Amino acid sequence: MATQQTQLLARTLLTPAVALLFIWMIVPLALTIYFATLHYNLLDPGSESFVGLENFRYFLTDPAFLASLQNTLVLVGSVLAITIILGVPLALLLDQQVVGLSIVRLMVIAPFFVMPTVSALVWKNLLMHPVSGLFAWIAHLFGLPAIDWFNEAPLFSVILIISWQWLPFATLILLTALQSLDEEQKEAAEMDGASAISTFIYITLPHLARPITVVILIETIFLLTVFAEIFVTTGGGPGLQTTNIAFLIYSQALIQYDVGSASAGGLVAVVLANIVAFFLVRIVGRNLEA
């Protein structure tokens, strides 16, 4: 029923946001595509020349790419698995009658608000240091040898830190979903003599399917480009053991100054993220109609 005037107004109000986001999306992406077809090294100025798909060939056949792709997948997969496998029981626990629940909730959600550089450094030094870290002391108490985390299991150490940061996110979302679960449905099941386990499998778990999907998709978007945690703890090493795609592109661009190859890598990262985004946008879009 909107009049022409309000329609015009609505469009005017929307324009700045749309225009800005459009420029933000198109300009850097177009430049990335353009740079990806050039031989372009900042250490060798003036030597820019068109090389076609050479950078993609170089980036994709570089052993570092395969290693970093593998690290990226292991990192994303492990953190997802850890946060969901621990997040579901944790959310179920917090959904029980707990005295002082609001304080427990605060403690559980806290890691999510800690900036990545802080959590990475606190874990690396105060907890995981092979000599003076708390974990080394605990191992000593049990008569176990201390683990030199970042040398013996570097990728696992990074995974541990990132899981700690994202467990609260998964838990909070699953808890919010649990709280919207119809209590009467569960009661009816209990009255019909359903055991706690079958109530969980047939009522709770199906109800959690959607929030779990949302957690997986959103975490994946963020985890694909984990950067700060690696930057301050391992610098991608030892060797390439903790280099993920984001860190590989960073090191090619800002350490080796190879603009062409880093741009090609950037496009590979965009394609990977888009595969995930495709599904996420679908799910959110379906919700928009409801």
Partner 1 sequence: MARMVTTRNKVISTAAAWLVGFLIFFPILWMVLASFKTELEAFAIPPSFLFFHWTTENYVTVQERSDYFHHALNSIIIAGGSTLIAMLIAIPAAWSMAFSPTKRTKDVLLWMLSTKMMPPVGVLVPIYLIYRSFGLLDTRAGLIFILCLGNLPIVIWMLFTYFKEIPKDILEAARMDGATIGRELIYVLTPMAVPGLASTLLLNLILAWNEAFWTLNLSTLEAAPLTVFIASYSSPEGLFWAKLSAASTLAIAPILVLGWFSQRQLVRGLTFGAVK
- 224 near partner 1 (CB under 8 A): yes
Residue closer to partner 1 (CB basis): 20 or 66: 20
Q: Which of residues 132-151 bind partner 1 (CB under 8 A)?
A: 132, 134, 136-137, 140
- 274 near partner 1 (CB under 8 A): yes
Choose the binding region for partner 1 from 3-11, 44-52, 57-65, 150-158 (rule: CB under 8 A): 3-11
| 43, 142, 180, 192: which one binds partner 1 (CB under 8 A) | 180
- 192 near partner 1 (CB under 8 A): no
- 267 near partner 1 (CB under 8 A): yes
- 183 near partner 1 (CB under 8 A): yes
- 163 near partner 1 (CB under 8 A): no
Choose the binding region for partner 1 from 4-12, 46-54, 62-70, 151-159 (rule: CB under 8 A): 4-12
Tokens representing 117 are: 């550089």
- 255 near partner 1 (CB under 8 A): no
SS3 (DSSP) at 230: helix
- 205 near partner 1 (CB under 8 A): no
- 109 near partner 1 (CB under 8 A): yes
Show Cβ contacts of residue 108 under 8 Å, excluding neighbours closer than 6 positions.
90, 94, 168, 171, 172
Q: Which of residues 46-85 bind partner 1 (CB under 8 A)?
A: none
DSSP state of 50: E
DSSP state of 49: E
- Rounded CA separation 240/65 (Å): 10
- 188 near partner 1 (CB under 8 A): no
Buried b (16+ CB within 10 A) or exposed e, 186-220: beebeeeebeeeebeeebbeebbeebbebbbbbbb
**Residue 55 · residue 286 · CB < 8 Å:** no
Residue closer to partner 1 (CB basis): 75 or 214: 214
Choose the binding region for partner 1 from 58-66, 76-84, 147-155, 245-253 (rule: CB under 8 A): 245-253
- Rounded CA separation 283/210 (Å): 9
Identity of the amino acid at 105: R
> Of 75, 120, 83, 87, which Cα lies nearest the Cα of 224?
75
- 105 near partner 1 (CB under 8 A): yes
